[in-house]
Homo-oligomer: A and B are copies of this chain.
């Protein structure tokens, strides 16, 4: 008999307790072991819930009980989660967390602590909610040398952009609707400005490339400046604007993680990922590419991922070597935005097509759209940031203004 404990009885924590209670017989069969939900740590009381008698206000009884083999951390934030998780690992208990901030900020330390105590620090729920992505990356695809990962990792911004594309809503109206539906927080900064997606691509980058990537080293741009006009015009050229969290390995072996709105071709499955769903596309030398899709958040989807980790843990008696990465060290394995090159969706004021060809390269068929002799949209040759800046200058000299530009995703 293994005992389970849950830290934090909020949305996700209560989901873990309830989904476990619902499917306990099935879960025990799949584990090959009897399990018992034994402790729930929360400072609040929940007298009316069926699991009220499991609540404790202090972590000590959990740390002291040798039968507790795995703990779910669903508190969120770096502290006190970090202190509690570290204490659990040091007490020989594996931990499964849904807390992306904790993993993105302290993952390397906690993975080392887990290894030192022959247990595991799991975090399937920290990226993509219900979507199995962490275990597929480090187990199923462990024979692959990865070259890129690109994902829609934030459901709130994907919902907002989707409303703009499908319902012709502007950004503010779509944000208000997302807040009304409970998809966006009252303070939507973490979602809208890309910080949430940034934490998640840091976690995926660290796991795929083996060194901790810190969020503050990642170029991160959100969707506040995306206009309805660009969403519409981009769509005429056959692209959807999506907030893409991405990491690519460059020819020099360094990696370049970014979070920014990008133009995604209609032929690309990511362009059809709608609403609050998330998806992650992975490129490796064995698989070519694979995609994982599902609910990026929510009580039971996230609880499903936490419990999946706990179920694996009760069958293990060692640290999984592939589930780890190193300290960042001097971070010289990271490239910055100057190394980023991509075709661009470009919108300018009225301009001669010959001039645009000169500045942006030979244009592809059907890649020019002119509206009311006022605006021209094109898809450029591959350009880096300096190229775009130089092009904007040249255009200005000819009386043309560069109004917007979004890099085109190649995943």
Chain A contacts to B: CB under 8 angstroms: 19-20, 22-23, 26-27, 29-33, 124, 130-132, 135-136, 138-145, 210, 267, 269, 272-274, 284-295, 298, 300-301, 303-305, 307-308, 311-312, 315, 318, 320-322
Give the 10 A-B CB pairs with smallest separation, nearest first.
A32-B321, A286-B304, A290-B294, A143-B307, A132-B140, A130-B287, A30-B322, A291-B293, A132-B136, A140-B308
Task: Identify A293's interface contact among B31, B269, B295, B318, CB under 8 A.
Answer: B269
With A304-B141, A322-B31: A288-B295 Cβ-Cβ less than 8 Å? yes
Q: Which residue of B lies closest to A321 (CB)?
A: B32
CB<8 Å pairs between A and B, sample of 22: A22-B145, A23-B285, A27-B143, A30-B138, A32-B321, A130-B290, A131-B290, A135-B136, A136-B136, A139-B311, A143-B308, A272-B272, A286-B304, A286-B307, A287-B304, A288-B301, A289-B294, A289-B295, A290-B292, A290-B293, A292-B292, A315-B320
List chain B residues, Cβ under 8 A from A27: 142-143
Q: Say yes or no: A23 contacts B305, CB within 8 Å.
A: no
Q: Say yes or no: A286 contacts B143, CB within 8 Å.
A: no
Q: Which residue of B lies closest to A291 (CB)?
A: B293
List chain B residues, Cβ under 8 A from A295: 287-290
List chain B residues, Cβ under 8 A from A210: 29
List chain B residues, Cβ under 8 A from A23: 143-145, 285-286
Task: Identify A142's interface contact among B30, B139, B298, CB under 8 A.
Answer: B30
Q: Say yes or no: B312 contacts A286, CB within 8 Å.
A: no
How near does chain B come to A260, taking the closest CB pair, in angstroms?
24
Q: Which residue of B lies closest to A308 (CB)?
A: B140
Interface core residue of A31, A140, A272 (most chain B CB under 10 Å): A140
With A22-B285, A287-B304: A311-B142 Cβ-Cβ less than 8 Å? yes
How near does chain B come to A313, taking the closest CB pair, in angstroms?
11
Q: Say yes or no: B315 contacts A318, CB within 8 Å.
A: yes
List chain B residues, Cβ under 8 A from A144: 23, 304
With A269-B272, A290-B292: A307-B142 Cβ-Cβ less than 8 Å? yes
Task: Identify A139's interface contact among B135, B318, B321, CB under 8 A.
Answer: B135
Q: Say yes or no: B285 contacts A143, CB within 8 Å.
A: no
Q: How far is the CA of A328 from the CA of B350 in the complex (A)?
A: 70
Q: Say yes or no: A142 contacts B286, CB within 8 Å.
A: no
Q: Say yes or no: B20 contacts A304, CB within 8 Å.
A: no
Interface core residue of A31, A130, A210 (most chain B CB under 10 Å): A130
Q: How far is the CA of A289 from the CA of B288 in the complex (A)?
A: 24
Q: Which residue of B lies closest to A136 (CB)?
A: B132
Q: How far is the CA of A33 from the CA of B287 in the complex (A)?
A: 23
How near does chain B come to A64, taking the closest CB pair, in angstroms?
27
How near does chain B come to A108, taking the closest CB pair, in angstroms?
16
Interface core residue of A135, A143, A301 (most chain B CB under 10 Å): A143
How near does chain B come to A411, taking the closest CB pair, in angstroms?
12
Q: Which residue of B lies closest to A115 (CB)?
A: B32
Q: How far is the CA of A272 from the CA of B265 in the complex (A)?
A: 13
* Other 9 A-B pairs with CB < 8 A, given A20-B143, A31-B322, A141-B308: A23-B285, A27-B143, A140-B308, A267-B274, A286-B300, A290-B293, A290-B295, A293-B293, A315-B322
